Amino acid sequence: MIYRSLALIALPALWTLLFVAIPAALILKISFAEPQLAQPPYTPLFEAGEYGLVLKAHLANYTLIFSDPLYIRALGNSLLYAGIATLCCLALGLAIARAVSCAAPRWQPLLLTLIILPFWTSFLIRVYAWIALLKPEGLINAALMGLGLIDEPLVMINTGFGVVIGMTYTYLPFAILPIYASLIGQSPRLTEAAVDLGASPIAAFWLVTVPLARSGILAAGLMVFIPTVGEFVIPDLLGGSATIMLGQALWSEFFSNRDWTMASALAVILTILLLAPALILQRLELGSRPGMKK
């Protein structure tokens, strides 16, 4: 029995050790090194000294991240755009999930499928589609100018607006599903009771429906926030130089500056940033959700 268990564990355990744990350790190690013109292009963490191995940890990368305006801006932008996109997704997600949960039960599976379907189509294409919409000679500007609403094209691409709209668009389905799940678990009698006691339908929604869906809303927020903080493709295609985010900073350190140590340090910072939200999300997904089905 024990051998069978070991055989079962062996492959996934070794695989994750090799492809997740060791690479993470490598990144951590390299982040404390300094770049050098050699192969590999960074200093070793331990060096042979007079009395055996000497630990040579450099904190230069980390001090630079928290002092150089470029990195501080990247950090700020990451949190700002991910935060705004999360709020947008929650607002839209709440409205759409609510509408789906109020639809006739036989329509709900179809509506949900329609909402998830874009997720199955190429991410890259969906972001690309927004370039054609947002650029100065793009479709939105053409339409607005055609209607005579504006005289000059609006600058939407290469701005924070473009980044946020791209993120909102891409991750909206992630927000709708958990909110829908927590709404559909609520007894319709609860909102009826609120209305019966004198709450207008809008008051009933904010005072009863939303508080009871809070765990679903929190999960939805995290499911948008976590991937958007480290996003690379969206800010790269829809943003500009002023909207640089951490993922882009990492990318350019690695590919343009060939500074593997800085790229690694940025990866460590990004991971730490996501640690708390990821743990909360995990607890939410695993734990039962009180307030539902009651």
Partner 1 sequence: MPLLNIQGVSKYYGDETAVDNLDLEVEEGESLVLLGPSGCGKSTLLRMIAGLEMPDEGKILLDNQDITRLPPHKRPINMMFQSYALFPHLSVRDNIAFGLRREGMASAEIARRVDEAMAMLEIGNYGNRKPHQLSGGQQQRVALARALVKRPRLLLLDEPLGALDKRLRQQTQAELRKLNRQTGIAFVFVTHDNDEAMALADRIAVMQAGRLRQVDHPRRIYDRPVDRFVATLMADANLFESIVVEEAEDMVHARCGELELQFRADGIPRPADSYQLLGLRLEQIEVSRDPLPKGPNTASGTVIDIDYIGDMTTIEVRLSDNQIVKASQLNALHEPLIELDETVWLTWEADALVPLADA
Partner 2 sequence: MKRLGSIHITALTFGLAFLYLPILLVVIFSFNASKLVTVWGGFSLHWYGVLFSNSAYLEAALNSLKIATTAATIATLLGTLGALVLTRLGRFPGRQAIGGFMLAPMVLPEVILGVSTLMLFVSLGIERGLLTVALAHATFGAAFVLVIVQSKLVSLDPNLEAAARDLGAGPVQAFLLVTVPSLAPALVAGWLLAFTLSLDDVVVASFVNGPGATTLPVRVYSAVRLGVSPEINAISTILLVVVSAVVIMASLLQKQALMRDQR
Q: According to DSSP H, which parts of 69-213 are helical?
A: 69-102, 108-120, 123-134, 139-146, 160-184, 188-196, 201-204, 210-212
Six token digits for residue 3: 């051998």
Residues in region 225-284 near partner 2 by CB under 8 A:
226-227, 229-233, 236-237, 247, 250-251, 254, 260, 263-264, 267, 270-271, 274, 278, 281-282
- Number of residues this chain uses to bind partner 1 (CB under 8 A): 23
Six token digits for residue 157: 């691409």
Residues in region 102-131 near partner 2 by CB under 8 A:
102-104, 111, 113-115, 117-118, 120-126, 128-131
Nearest C-alpha neighbor of 26 from the set 245, 255, 263, 248: 263
Strands 52-55 and 46-49 come out as: antiparallel
Q: How far is CA 172 from CA 86, 138, 180, 226, 289, in A?
A: 9, 23, 12, 13, 22
Q: Choose, by CB under 8 A, the member of 16, 192, 258, 282 that binds partner 1.
A: 192
- Site track 66-105 with partner 2 (rule: CB under 8 A), x = hit: --------------------------x--xx-xxx-xxx-
Q: Which stretch binds partner 2 (CB under 8 A): 54-62, 67-75, 171-179, 213-221?
A: 171-179
CB of 12 to partner 2, least distance (A): 4
Q: Name which of partner 2, partner 1, none residue 126 binds, using a CB cut-off of 5 to 8 Å depending on partner kind.
A: partner 2
Nearest C-alpha neighbor of 210 from the set 185, 184, 183, 189: 183
| Gap between the Cα atoms of 122 and 13, Å rounded | 31
Residues in region 178-207 near partner 2 by CB under 8 A:
none
Residues in region 212-241 near partner 1 by CB under 8 A:
212, 214
